[in-house]
Amino acid sequence: MGVGKIRGIRGHEAVRAFVRAGGVMRQGKGDHVNIKMPSGVIITLPWSKNLKVGLLTAAIKKAGLTKEEFLELL
| pTM of the full structure | 0.91
- The pLDDT value recorded for residue 6 is 86
Parse the chain into domains and list their residue ranges. 3-73
pLDDT in tens, the chain (74 residues): 455 688 889 999 999 999 999 999 998 899 999 999 999 999 999 998 899 999 999 999 999 999 999 999 99
Q: Within its chain, how far is the Cα of 13 from the centroid? A: 8
Domain 3-73 is found in CATH 3.30.420.40:
no
- The pLDDT value recorded for residue 1 is 46
Quote the CA–CA distance of 72 and 26 in Å, as a whole number: 23
